[in-house]
Structures are given as C-alpha cells and as structure tokens.
Structure 1
C-alpha cells in the first residue's frame, strides 16, 4: 500500500494497537457517568481528545529532537490514575453510609490526565513514526487519530449503556472504579520499570 491509503491503514493500526486499554478506561468512565452523573459525557469526550492531542503533540515535538519527559521517568505518569483511584477509595470509605458513589475522574482535566498517563508509552511508538514519515503523513495520521478517538468514545458509550452493567456499577462502582484506576496506574509504573530505577 502506498500513498494516502497506506498512511491511513498504518495510522489505524497504530491507533488501535496503542489504545486498546483506553477503550476499557473510557467504558468505565461512561459507566460511572451513567450510574452516578459524573463525569458528564461531554467531559469524557473533551478529556479524551485533550489527552490524545497532548500525546500527539509531545510525540511530534520529540520527533523534532526535543525531549519533554525523559524515557526513564515516563512511568511517573502512572501515578496520576493511581492517585485518582486512591482518592476515590478514600471517598468511598468516608461516604460508605451514603447512596452516592463518588466519581474517580470527574472533570475534563482529570480525564485528560488519565488519558495522558495511560497512553504515555504510546509516545515511544508515535515519535519514530512522526520522525520518519514527514509533514503530510503526520497530518493524515493525526486526522485518523481524531477519528479514532470518536470511534473509541462511541464504542465505549455503547458498551457502557447496558442496564445490567450500569446497575452493577451503581451498586459497586464506589469500589470498582477506583480499583480499575489503581490497577491501571500500577501497571503503568511496573511496566516502565520505575521501581527499580528509583532504587
């Protein structure tokens, strides 16, 4: 495949391959929003777009030869979803006698932060591609990523629209949603080998 078709196909594969775990996070966010009222749908969409845009921007800047976050410390970003999860568990314990289920990521900025942290390893995939393909294919790839975000949000919204799942999250979400965020943060930190680098 050559030209635009090849670039689009490569970009689709790259987006899907690096953002499968994001689909899980988005589904949890949509479930939480439907069960508790927070975050709102527009915040999930906007936060996801902001997070992916930041990852692409960092990758483009890195492709130009500038390093914003040293590779050795990229795992530190895993502390963002981890901290949000811990905060959610603390709120769940404190409010355990009430019916309200606290949201872990309840605003645009916290959702963007989780998206960036969850996709921090994507930078190592995007950077060499942007460095080698040139301006035109980079713009096409960015457009494909924008379409991919919309597809991911629609798919996660659909996955998170089943009544039984919403009821389950409404009942156990105060524990489940923070646990998912803690697990995601922990995986990011462990996969980056950050503990051994700190020691």
Structure 2
C-alpha cells in the first residue's frame, strides 16, 4: 500500500473536517451523563460520513444523486436542528430545577441528528472529494475510504477528549446548551449563504 496516498488521504480528511471536532465536542458535552450517548454520537458521525463518502464515490463514477445546485440547501438541516436545540434549551430553562434534570434524561443527540449535521456540514467536502476520487482509480479510492473511516474514529475520540477536559467540560456544561444551537444555526446559515441558496 502506497504510504504517499495514505498521507494524502489523512491530510485531505484533516483539512476538510477540522470544524467537526468542535461540533463533536458540543455533541459529547450535550450527551454527558446520558447512558449510551457516546455510542449514539459515534454511530451518527459514521452514518453521516458514510453518506458523504457514498455520494462522493457515486459522483466520481458519474452518478449525480445530489445535483450541485442542491448542496447549498443542505444548510437547512443544521439550521433546523439548531433552532430545535434552541427551543429545547429555552423550554428546559423555563422549567428549571428538578424539571430541567428530568427533561434532559432523554436528551442527548440522536444518531440521526448527528448524521444530519455531519452530512450537511460535509456537503462542500463532496465537491473536493469527487475529483480526487475520480483520478485515484478504484484502488486509490478504496485507500481514501479506509483512511477516512479510520480517521472518523480519531475525530470522535478527539471530540470526546476535549469535551471531557475539566476546564472545557465545565465551560461546555455551563454554556453548551447555548453554544450548540448557535454553532448549528451559524453552520446552516454559512452553508446557505456561501452556496447562494434562495438567491442569498
């Protein structure tokens, strides 16, 4: 196996997914103390990234399941999830005390929520991956896919690591319910505006 292509794959993944570490940290902080939350977040991250890979590989072979003009509208996913998270935080804050504790027992992100944010946030990655995959051939594409999927685990570990550092964990515990909606809404708006959705 060519070490050069492994290095290129690792570099490409890091450059195109650096912002995911912040999002993952927020998700892990949101799920802290909820049974099975880490597993759901990792599963969601893999589902979302597998969808990105599937679309990129298909497009490299000439299939266009996702027209380029549709990619900016993926911003609606994190925007909607951010607004939902903001509404939930506002409701929990309004209840306060024991009700808030009770209301968050079932909270923590679901795999589909994490997958939706990962996929939407990686919409622009598809445009980068397609030409690389198309020129790499089937063997090279396989190496890229294996390296990418291995690095998803590293990214999940990094997000969990940052979310569990005492200083960061305290900050996220205090401000995470505000930061997560803000970050998701900002990502959604950025994807919409940069892609020119709705003539923006």
So what's the TM-score if we normalise by structure 2?
0.89
Aligned mate of 1:73, from 70, 75, 96: 70
Matched, 1:50 2:50: no
Q: CA deviation at 1:175?
A: 1.9
Gap change, CA 1:71 and 1:192, over 3 Å in 2:
same
Report the secondary structure of 1:160's partner residue. Answer: helix
Distance in 2, matches of 1:165 and 1:14, equals 27
Distance in 2, matches of 1:4 and 1:104, equals 44
Gap change, CA 1:109 and 1:42, over 3 Å in 2:
same
**Which residues in structure 2 correspond to 1:96-115 (within 5 Å)?**
96=93, 97-98=95-96, 99-100=100-101, 106-115=109-118
Unaligned 5+ residue runs, structure 1?
none
**1:122 — aligned with what?**
125
**2:10 — aligned with what?**
12
Q: Kindly indicate whether the alpha-carbon contact (under 8 Å) linking 1:85 and 1:181 is maintained by their aligned counterparts in 2.
A: yes
Gap change, CA 1:85 and 1:38, over 3 Å in 2:
farther
Gap change, CA 1:25 and 1:68, over 3 Å in 2:
same
Q: CA RMSD in A?
A: 2.0
Q: CA deviation at 1:43?
A: 0.8
1:99-146, CA deviations, whole angstroms, 9 ceiling, x for partnerless residues? 347598621111111100010100001111111111111111111001
Q: CA deviation at 1:162?
A: 1.6
**1:144 — aligned with what?**
147
**2:189 — aligned with what?**
186
Q: Kindly indicate whether the alpha-carbon contact (under 8 Å) linking 1:39 and 1:106 is maintained by their aligned counterparts in 2.
A: no
Distance in 1, matches of 2:86 and 2:125, equals 28
Gap change, CA 1:142 and 1:19, over 3 Å in 2:
same
Report the secondary structure of 2:2's partner residue. Answer: helix
Distance in 1, matches of 2:8 and 2:108, equals 32
**Which residues in structure 2 correspond to 1:83-98 (within 5 Å)?**
83-96=80-93, 97-98=95-96
1:46-104, CA deviations, whole angstroms, 9 ceiling, x for partnerless residues? 11111111111100100111111111120111111110110111122222232347598
1:157-189, CA deviations, whole angstroms, 9 ceiling, x for partnerless residues? 111102233233323332221111111111111
**1:82 — aligned with what?**
79
Unaligned 5+ residue runs, structure 2?
none
**1:37 — aligned with what?**
34
